[in-house]
Structure 1
Amino acid sequence: MVSNVLHEIRHAFANFRLFFQMTTNPASTLRERLALAAPGPVEFQRSDLRETSGFRRERIEYPGLEGDIIPAFLFTPTHRPPLGGVVVFHQHNGEFHFGKSEVAGDVGDPYQAFGPALARRGVAVLAPDSVTFEDRRGAVQGVEPEHYDWLRHYSAMAYRLLDGDTLMRKCLDDAQRALSVLADATGVDGRHIGIAGHSYGGYTALYHAAVDARCQFVCISGAVCSFETRRREGTGITLFETVPGLARDIDTHDVLSAIGPRPTFVVSGTEDKYSRDADQVVAKVTGHFITERRVNRGHALDQERFDAIVEWLVDHAGDP
């Protein structure tokens, strides 16, 4: 009887200790949970340099964690040295054939074309393809859709779970490498480098900023919503968030809190199911490092939010 009581006490204490660690330092606990390696220098290759009005664009390729090649576009201003740099993670939108090319403004939604917009304002931008998007779809590359695009994305999660791994670890390792490449390829001072993304890119930016202290500022658009609200409304969970037990240990406000005190811009819409309760999530975060832009509209960006994001990123990239 006594031994059973002692066992229950030890079990309760262990759970409390885990909870305490998660709430006091969710970033380090998340890194440990994912077995996420520390960021470091990454070799890269340049090709296909193009110059247009106000900026240059070149293709950058660098190795991923699994020996895969990560392609990206690098945008740099032509009229001045960069004020700073931003890694922009592309959206999902069910269009796996669009990645870096949408950030470039070549295809898709013009309100995702952050590469040219920021480069013309003096900010260097690296826009990588996420795993299973555009040129990272295996045998299929380019910006034309293919019937099994969705299955490749699903399998990227499922096969890793079979191996006891997670898609989140891969995506965040990719993100860390992108930040390293941006700094080395542009020579921008690390104090002036941040990250940004909308929707799927916003979720990537949220978790990346939480675990990588090198991100000096972050814009998260259309991607701040509690697990409870998403579950209640039947909103889809990004596949890279499918980490067993994640929602039991942390919620979105914990991840957001881990970014502080670094400046954070949260952009959301009241009619957007992926940021339905963003204002309530932000209200749970202590500190004054978050700026909010909340509009009475849906998920897709519009001119107002696009301009606000560009302006905020330019201001913070150039901060002394």
Structure 2
Amino acid sequence: MDDVATFLRDRLGLAAPVDVAVTRGAVEACDGYDRERIEYPGLEGDPIPAFLFTPHGRAPRGGVVVFHQHNGEFHFGKSEVAGLVGDPCQAFGPALARAGLVVLAPDSISFEDRRAGVRGVEPDTHDWLQHYNAMSYRLLQGDLLMRKCLDDAQRALGVLLQLGGVDPRRVGVAGHSYGGTTALYHAALDPRCRFAAISGAVCSLATRQREGTGIVLFEAVPGLARDLDHHDLLAAIGPRPALVVSGTQDKYSRDADAVVARVAGDFITALRVDRGHALDPERFDAIVEWIVAQAGADADGGSGA
């Protein structure tokens, strides 16, 4: 497909990015960085809470929006990226901020403080149902959850650019699993994403269907598989740098190596390990190192000192 961004925007009815007003909250000084809770409005007037991480004592090298994982834990969102709950190998906020980046970690719709009935980091019986409703209610109205999620994503990047004081040539997106899928689609359609780190999320639609692997609900777009696949999305990111992290035993990135092989160009860095879906220290450290290198790159594509 020649123009994935135009196709997706037209297919979804996704508008261009807009500026939003941000409400800034309490700032907590942490080891090497500050963590601030902020909030800004979404497409439907819904508040989007997020954490903003800024490094101590230095000008930022660049910035990144980190989209959190799914893992069936709807009570975890931005707080897992902050290292406050959940898997330590999802705590990208502190690691990247200590390395000199500004990081924005928003809650995705129906996660943590964006759940319909409850807030916080304790699970609720109806968490899964509310996530399902976020998709199905929109389908009833002729709308799509993907439109909402990608509008959220481009708003997040706009907020990072607005608040972070970073060079717009050194900002990108990252995520694992559900967050990786979000980063993949977002980077494909938003040229403001100057790099994308995608973990545990690249897999052809045919392989997932053949093996009975679930898809994230926001990918439930009627007819999408007839027109688009993950190699198209990766190709649309180029020549901007992309990192694709996958595991041979991970059903969510089962054939990531074959998907990458279909994409022309040398803009993709691929890390494939003989392990499963959950991140481990090796992959976590590699993702952090790659993002830091991209955020420090010179505008002409060279590596910054």
State TM-score, norm by structure 2.
0.97
- The correspondence for 2:17, drawn from 39, 62, 80, is 39
Letter of the 1:131 partner, please give it. I
Provide structure 1 residue ranges, at least 5 long, that are not aligned to the other structure. Answer: 1-22
Letter of the 1:58 partner, please give it. E
The residue number in structure 2 matching 1:74 is 52
Deviations 1:183-238 (A, max 9, x none): 11111111010000000000000000001010000000000000000001100011
Letter of the 1:250 partner, please give it. L
Q: How does 1:133-148 map to 2 (within 5 A)?
A: 133-148=111-126
The residue number in structure 2 matching 1:26 is 4
State the secondary structure of the residue aligned to 2:53: strand
1:138: Cα distance to partner?
1.9
1:120 and 2:98 equivalent? yes
The residue number in structure 2 matching 1:108 is 86
1:52: Cα distance to partner?
1.3
- The correspondence for 1:280, drawn from 235, 247, 258, is 258
The residue number in structure 1 matching 2:110 is 132
- The correspondence for 2:42, drawn from 54, 61, 64, is 64
1:256: Cα distance to partner?
1.1
Deviations 1:248-307 (A, max 9, x none): 111111111111110000000000000000000000011111000000000000010000
1:144: Cα distance to partner?
0.1
The residue number in structure 2 matching 1:235 is 213
Letter of the 1:263 partner, please give it. P
Tell me the distance in 2 between the aligned counterparts of 1:55 and 1:219.
22
Letter of the 1:216 partner, please give it. R
Q: How does 1:168-317 map to 2 (within 5 A)?
A: 168-317=146-295
Letter of the 2:114 partner, please give it. R
The residue number in structure 2 matching 1:158 is 136
- The correspondence for 1:92, drawn from 57, 60, 70, is 70
Q: Percent identity?
A: 71
Tell me the distance in 2 between the aligned counterparts of 1:256 and 1:164.
28
Aligned residues: 298
The residue number in structure 2 matching 1:4 is none
1:139: Cα distance to partner?
2.7
Q: Greater helix percent: which structure? A: 1
Q: Which moved more, 1:125-134 or 1:75-84?
A: 75-84
State the secondary structure of the residue aligned to 2:237: coil
Letter of the 1:218 partner, please give it. A
1:159: Cα distance to partner?
0.4
Tell me the distance in 1 between the aligned counterparts of 2:236 and 2:138.
26
1:40: Cα distance to partner?
2.3
State the secondary structure of the residue aligned to 1:67: coil
Tell me the distance in 2 between the aligned counterparts of 1:53 and 1:90.
22
Tell me the distance in 2 between the aligned counterparts of 1:26 and 1:195.
18
Tell me the distance in 1 between the aligned counterparts of 2:169 and 2:18.
16
1:24: Cα distance to partner?
1.2
State the secondary structure of the residue aligned to 2:39: strand
State TM-score, norm by structure 1.
0.92
The residue number in structure 2 matching 1:10 is none
Provide structure 2 residue ranges, at least 5 long, that are not aligned to the other structure. Answer: 299-305
Moved over 6 A (4+): none
Tell me the distance in 2 between the aligned counterparts of 1:139 and 1:269.
36
The residue number in structure 2 matching 1:17 is none
Q: Which structure's CA Rg is the greater one?
A: 1
How much is the aligned-residue C-alpha RMSD, in angstroms? 0.6
Deviations 1:142-176 (A, max 9, x none): 00000000000000000001111100000000000
Deviations 1:73-104 (A, max 9, x none): 00000120110000000000000000000000
Tell me the distance in 1 between the aligned counterparts of 2:73 and 2:83.
15
